[in-house]
Chains A and B, each alone.
Chain A
Amino acid sequence: MLHIYCPHCGESRDEEEFHPAGQAHIERPKDPDACTDKEWGEFLYFRRNPRGVHHELWVHAAGCRKFFNMTRNTQTYEIKEVYKLGEQPSVVAE
């Protein structure tokens, strides 16, 4: 069970309090109506599934309800860092 530091609460808490919410840094296209079906399909469905470092979106669901980003190694489960939305990671996935 992961031990996750919530950057909003400033505390490490058990995984039970959190929900993963998919890949981080997926931005909704600014003008969806100008997207082709292919572009929209890629935004909708295509996600990375790396064995190694990955940027993920999490929410402190049973805590402050705030979303935040996490850089995590999907193989070792090591959490490299957590950072707030709008911030950029200092450890970058390949």
Chain B
Amino acid sequence: MAQQTNNETRRLSAGGRIDRSKPITFTFNDKQYKGYEGDTLASALLANGVDIIGRSFKYSRPRGIVAAGAEEPNAIMQLGATEATQIPNVRATQQALYDGLVCKVTNGWPNVDNDLMGWVGKLGGKMMPPGFYYKTFMYPKSMWETYESYIRKAAGLGRSPKENDPDRYDNMNQHCDVLVVGGGPAGLMAALTAARGGARVILADEQNEFGGSLLSSKESIGNKPATEWVDDVVTELARFDNVQLLTHATVNGYHDHNFLTIHQHLTDQSFDKAPNGKICQRLHRVRAKWVVLATGAHERPLVYGNNDVPGCMVANAVSTYIQRYGVVPGKDLVLMTTNDNAYRAALDWHDAGHNVVAIVDTRKNSKGTLVEAARERGMTVMLGSGVVDVQGSKRVTSVSIAKLNEAGDQVEGSVIEVKADTVASSGGWSPVIHLSCHTGSRPVWSDEVVGFLPGPSQQQQLTAGAMNGAYSTAAALEQGMNAGQSALEKLAMKMADVSVPETETLDEAEPMALFHIPHPKPTHKAPKQFVDLQNDVTAAGIELACREGFESIEHVKRYTAMGFGTDQGKLGNINGMAIAAKYLKQSIPETGTTIFRPNYTPVTFGAIAGRDCGELFEPKRYTAMHQWHMEHGAKFEDVGQWKRPWYYPKAGETMQEALNRECLATRESVGILDASTLGKIDIQGKDAREFLGRVYTNAWAKLAVGKCRYGLMCGEDGMVFDDGVTSCLAENHFLMTTTTGGAAHVLSWLELYHQTEWPELEVYFTSVTDHWATMTISGPNSRRLLETLTDGDVSKESMSFMDWRAMTVAGVPARVFRISFTGELSFEINVQANYGMHVWKALFEQGKQFNLTPYGTETMHILRAEKGFIIAGQDTDGSVHPFDLGMPWAVSMQKPFSFIGKRGMQREDCVRKDRKQLVGLKTTDPSVVLPEGAQGVFDPKASIPMPMVGHVSSSYWSANLGRSVAMGFVKGGHDKMGQKVYYPLVDGRVVEAEICSPVFLDPKGERQNV
């Protein structure tokens, strides 16, 4: 049972955008806590005084909450009240608090406060330097799995649920004129402008409400509080029919041709499991004519010693927690900054009634509006100084401050130590350029902005606000409006009537370009200075990588793992590049940047899959007789999307017993196969016959109406890829059949040649596979059975082998083809698909007297193998031509047109005598069935690796012959009849077989000519 605590020690009594009338109970690491509606999980944890929310990935150091948004590197939670509702890697800063929320830390085993991996971290960087996976854990190789499971458990990478997710997810395809990404001042202004101009607009923001930075700001816009301006704009936008507003919706991928994906959180922000089957999350797939990126900026923390101790935060996050959530995350603050803007954190801290110990400003001078405001409040401002390190393990206890030189790369003078529990730091801002990078645009460094800006893009993309380095609210509003107008112009719509509202102007001094605070000791001896908190990359680690020769920033990234995983370098990348640049004595633009890839933040598999799971994952194709097969206990085989009967076991029968029964019944009396899935292509036109002659290897010029012919289809390389029987229905009308799996490809192949090579031929192709139900009756009694149901004359005299006739069967119109894939007297009955079941049942009614036996694909395979008939795709693999298959009778080299495959199969390599050729394989021990795929050798005593001479392609037990039958490839096999070939198997046995004709049964073909 969870322990009860109610200890909101850090919550202010008033203020913030939380609803104090709606308290919420939640569970973190088996302890209960209280929060309010409007809290994020992170703000509630901070309010409750929870300092440690995990252990670090590599060194297992205690970690606290650092940021307030998507850039949070540490507070990664495992969410879920039940096994089935587990969600890994949820950022506490992005998860809305709801009643009954249950979460655990991802990192930390056995628990965060006493971590078993901590000792590894305490040994310092020596045991786990950058590249430690490669260096430490790779040898011996056989131990890697052991290492990996240990590392995963200890480091904690989240876990997926072991039970099925009970929630429903959704995909939605959308189109719009303008997609605005980000609902801060720039995005709101862009959306408002585009909406007023009449464009179809989607505005998406990852937070629970629009406003962005304005939600934690005390500014005024248009002479009213900024949040009121936000409310007014959102209210107006909501009234437009042409505007869609999406909150909790992260645009996480920007793909080619303005295709963007938006991951929208719905019930997962309010419930552990969605009530009433509501949608949990939705993935919007948006094709936007224009995109306005107004994604804002992330504040960069500074890199200093022990900057990962809980209590070290980003300055802006401190303001956000105070202003938006009424939470002051500590008692005594030290602020370190390179710019004016961050002074807001100290002002907010002070105004909330808490103690600001010192403002440590790395610049020698500063007297902007905010700096003066701090001085007026009597705060200590220490110019030209930096925090070199902090002390404390589970929380900051004291802070060491030293004077810096002008360049900020050397400590000058002595270090003083002050007591404090919180360090807020700001090294300026990094524009959030991730999305613009997704489509391959390289970012461009700006000295003025001290950051990378979006580079030129191939997309229909506009940018506005802080992502352009325009950090002031006034500039953001203006750029937003301009982007909106610009989009309207490009869409050829009229300009909107809109103007930029008034804002306050602040005097701001120049920021300083500083990333890495020097320490009295050299970097590799100083306390760890973290660059990437999520991946435990330190300044010393980056220097080591550079020293070891990894000079390209892409290599530094991969060697150190900087910017990997769910973090994607949001806080650390620029600092890391700056440190590499400093070590390599080059500029940041010379060092370059790594590129960002989708997705911006993690996306659940559920949202990606949407409804396409379970029964809806892939369409299934059923024949017209499927219900009958089900009722008669068929086992099914998947052939492409088709469900084909595999065999029909009777009660108590093993598979082999069922196959034996089916095989014997067919050859002794009559069997029936549902062959509806064979591909059928209707070919018409005056040049249809000529076309067939070009795509098949054999001759078609003289095929008369009423006749059928077997053909092989080859590629231009001469290799067989499909086969089937084509029948002449009328002078300019043919019906082609293909293999079940090859139907779509063959149709596309015919279209390709018709459209690209021979458009002058008048010929049309139509897929008619689903129009016909096809049932093959096969066996000595098949004619007698058919005669009971037809008005046609199916006697030997009037319907020979390879003839087809139109007639009625069971009272319905049918095409009956006398063709055979079993070597028995066979009739393939084709009726309109909706008559299929009727005819099938009628056949069984009459078939009782003949013991009509249904058989599936497996018996079909055995019966054809007894006759040496190939299956394209099983006995061919794209490397065998008709001569390899021993089928020269199916190739007509005399045809006037050089058919597809003719030239290819005459290449030098294709006429070698020692090619692998298809032969029959008769095992010396008739009871042994060779495994398909077994490789043959001529000399089983040869040393390993033995020269392999070909594989077994088809192999079965033949009940009719009382022995095994097999086909396979043997080098030069056609000239080796009677010789032995050996198959060494995995289990140590060596099976001996004799090379023979693949026709094991009725070599003269007497059974089908009756």
Q: Is the CB of A3 within 8 A of B755?
A: no
Q: For the complex formed, measure the closest distance between the CB of B730 and the CB atoms of chain A, giving whole angstroms.
A: 24
Say how far B759's CB is from chain A's closest CB, in angstroms.
Answer: 7
Q: Which of chain A's residues have a CB closer than 8 A to the CB of B908?
A: 37
Q: For the complex formed, measure the closest distance between the CB of A5 and the CB atoms of chain B, giving whole angstroms.
A: 11
For the complex formed, measure the closest distance between the CB of B765 and the CB atoms of chain A, giving whole angstroms: 9
- Chain B residues with CB below 8 A from A1, complex form: 255-257, 259
Which B residues are in CB contact (< 8 Å) with A44? 716-717, 904
Q: Which residue of the partner chain B has the closest CB to A40? A: B903
- The answer to whether A2 and B256 touch across the interface, beta carbons within 8 angstroms, is yes
Contacts of A75 in B (CB 8 A): 440
Q: A41 and B907: CB pair below 8 A?
A: yes
Q: Which residues of chain A from 58 to 77 have any CB-CB distance to chain B below 8 Å in the complex?
A: 59, 61, 65-67, 75-77
Let me know if A10 is at the binding interface, CB within 8 A: no
Q: For residue B748, which residues in chain A have a CB less than 8 angstroms away from its CB?
A: 19, 59, 61, 65
Q: Contact between B458 and A78 (Cβ–Cβ < 8 Å)?
A: yes
B902 touches A (CB below 8 Å): yes
**Which residues of chain B have C-beta atoms less than 8 A from A85's C-beta?**
755-756, 759
Q: Which residue of A lies closest to B758 (CB)?
A: A28
Tell whether A35 is near chain B: CB-to-CB under 8 Å: yes
The one of A32, A65, A77 that contacts B256, using a Cβ cutoff of 8 Å = A77
Contacts of A77 in B (CB 8 A): 256-257, 440, 458
B287 at the interface (CB under 8 A from A): yes
A3 touches B898 (CB 8 A): no
Chain B residues, Cβ within 8 Å of A79: 257
Assess A86 versus B287: contact at CB under 8 Å? Given A2-B257, A3-B259: no
Indicate if the CB atoms of B755 and A67 lie closer than 8 Å: yes
> Cβ of B755: which chain A residues have Cβ within 8 Å of it?
66-67, 85
Given contacts A3-B259, A37-B908, contact A32 B902 (CB under 8 A): yes
A31 near B: Cβ within 8 Å?
yes
Query: Of A3, A65, A66, which one neighbours B257 at CB under 8 angstroms?
Result: A3
Closest to A30 in B: B898
Pairwise interchain contact A3-B756, C-beta atoms closer than 8 A: no
Contact A67 B756 (CB under 8 A): yes
Among A14, A21, A33, the residue within 8 A (CB) of B752 is A21
Q: For A78, list chain B residues within 8 Å (CB).
A: 458
CA distance A27 to B259 in the complex (A): 34
A3–B289 alpha-carbon span in the complex (Å): 11
Hey, what's the 0/1 contact readout for A1-32 against B, CB within 8 Å counting as 1? 11100000000001000010100000110011
In angstroms, Cα B461 to Cα A76, docked, is 14
B820, CB-defined interface residue at 8 Å: no
Cβ < 8 Å to A, chain B residues 671-726? 716-717
Q: What residue of chain A has the Cβ atom nearest to residue B173's Cβ?
A: A14
B757 contacts partner chain A, Cβ-Cβ < 8 Å: yes
Check B898–A31 contact: CB distance below 8 A: yes
Residues of A within 8 A of B752 (CB): 21, 59, 67
Question: Do A40 and B458 contact each other (CB < 8 Å), given the known contacts A66-B755, A85-B756?
Answer: no
The verdict on A82 contacting chain B, using a C-beta distance below 8 Å, is: no
What is the CA–CA distance of A39 and B716 in the complex, to the nearest angstrom?
Answer: 13
Residues of B within 8 A of A57 (CB): 756
Contact with A along B748-779 (1 / 0, CB 8 A): 10011001110100000000000000000000
The interface residues of chain B lying within 8 Å CB-to-CB of A33 are: 898, 902-903
How far does the Cβ of B35 sit from chain A's closest Cβ, in whole Å? 40
A59→B756 CA distance, assembly (Å): 11
How many cross-chain pairs have Cβ atoms below 8 Å apart between A and B? Answer: 61
* Residue B604, interface by CB 8 Å: no
Kindly state the separation between the CA atoms of A33 and B900 in the bound complex, as whole angstroms: 11
Q: Is B800 an interface residue (CB 8 A)?
A: no
Is B410 engaged at the interface, CB distance under 8 Å to the other chain?
A: no
**Most chain-A Cβ atoms within 10 A of its Cβ — which of B440, B748, B902?**
B748
CA distance A75 to B757 in the complex (A): 29
B751 touches A65 (CB 8 A): yes
Cβ of B503: which chain A residues have Cβ within 8 Å of it? Answer: none
Query: For B717, what are the chain A residues with a Cβ–Cβ distance below 8 Å?
Result: 44
Nearest to B457 among chain A residues (CB) is: A76
Q: Which residues of A contact B440 (CB under 8 A)?
A: 75-77
Given known pairs A67-B751, A76-B458, the reply for A40 and B907 (CB within 8 Å) is yes
Asked whether, in the complex, the Cβ of A86 is within 8 Å of the Cβ of B716, the reply is no
User: Closest residue to B897 on the A side, CB-wise?
Assistant: A32
Q: Nearest-CB distance from B761 to chain A (Å)?
A: 14
Chain B contacts for A21, CB-based, 8 A: 752
CA distance A28 to B903 in the complex (A): 11
Is there contact, CB below 8 Å, between B759 and A28? Answer: no
Judge whether B270 is part of the interface by a CB distance below 8 angstroms.
no
B220 within 8 A of A: no
Q: How far is the CB of B289 from chain A (nearest CB, A)?
A: 10
The minimal Cβ–Cβ distance linking A33 to chain B, given in whole angstroms, is 5
Bound Cα distance from A32 to B908, whole angstroms: 15
Q: Is B405 an interface residue (CB 8 A)?
A: no
Name B440's closest neighbour in chain A (CB-CB): A76
Q: Report the separation of the CA atoms of residues A33 and B895 in the bound assembly, to the nearest whole angstrom.
A: 12
The answer to whether the Cβ of B258 comes within 8 Å of any Cβ in the partner chain is: yes
What are the residues of chain A within 8 A of B904 when measuring CB–CB? 40, 44
CA of A31 to CA of B258 in the docked complex: distance in angstroms?
45
Give the Cβ gap from A63 to chain B, nearest Cβ, in Å: 13
Nearest opposing residue in chain A for B458, CB measure: A76
Q: Cβ of A40: which chain B residues have Cβ within 8 Å of it?
A: 903-904, 907
Chain A CB within 10 A, most for which of B440, B748, B756, B904: B756
Residues in B898-946 with C-beta less than 8 Å from chain A: 898, 902-904, 907-908
CB distance from B690 to the nearest CB of A (A): 16
Q: Bound state CA distance, A43 and B757, in angstroms?
A: 14
CB of B258 within 8 A of CB of A3, answer: yes
Complex Cα distance A77/B440, Å? 10
How far does the alpha carbon of A86 sit from the alpha carbon of B760 in the complex, in Å? 12
Q: What is the bound-complex CA distance between A75 and B256, given in angstroms? A: 11
Q: Which residue of B lies closest to A4 (CB)?
A: B257
Residues of chain B with a CB closer than 8 A to A32's CB: 898, 902-903
Nearest CB in chain A to that of B257: its residue = A3
Given known contacts A59-B748, A77-B458, A78-B458, A43 and B259 CB-to-CB distance under 8 angstroms? no
Contacts of B907 in A (CB 8 A): 37, 40-41
Considering the chains assembled together, what is the distance between the CA atoms of A86 and B755 in angstroms? 10
Q: Specify which chain B residues have a CB less than 8 angstroms from the CB of A37 in the assembled complex.
A: 907-908
The digit string for B47-63, where 1 denotes a CB below 8 A from any CB of A, is: 00000000000000000
**Cα–Cα distance between A78 and B440 once the two chains are bound (Å):** 12
Q: Hey, which chain B residues are within 8 Å of A65, CB to CB?
A: 748, 751
Residues of A within 8 A of B903 (CB): 32-33, 35, 40
5 of the cross-chain contacts (CB-CB < 8 Å) are A1-B255, A33-B898, A59-B748, A76-B458, A77-B440
7 tightest A-B CB contacts, nearest first: A32-B903, A3-B257, A32-B898, A77-B256, A76-B458, A1-B259, A67-B755
A-side residues, CB < 8 A to B, are: 1-3, 14, 19, 21, 27-28, 31-33, 35, 37, 40-41, 43-44, 57, 59, 61, 65-67, 75-79, 85-86
- Seen from chain B, the residues whose Cβ lies within 8 Å of a Cβ on chain A are 255-259, 287, 440, 458, 716-717, 748, 751-752, 755-757, 759, 898, 902-904, 907-908
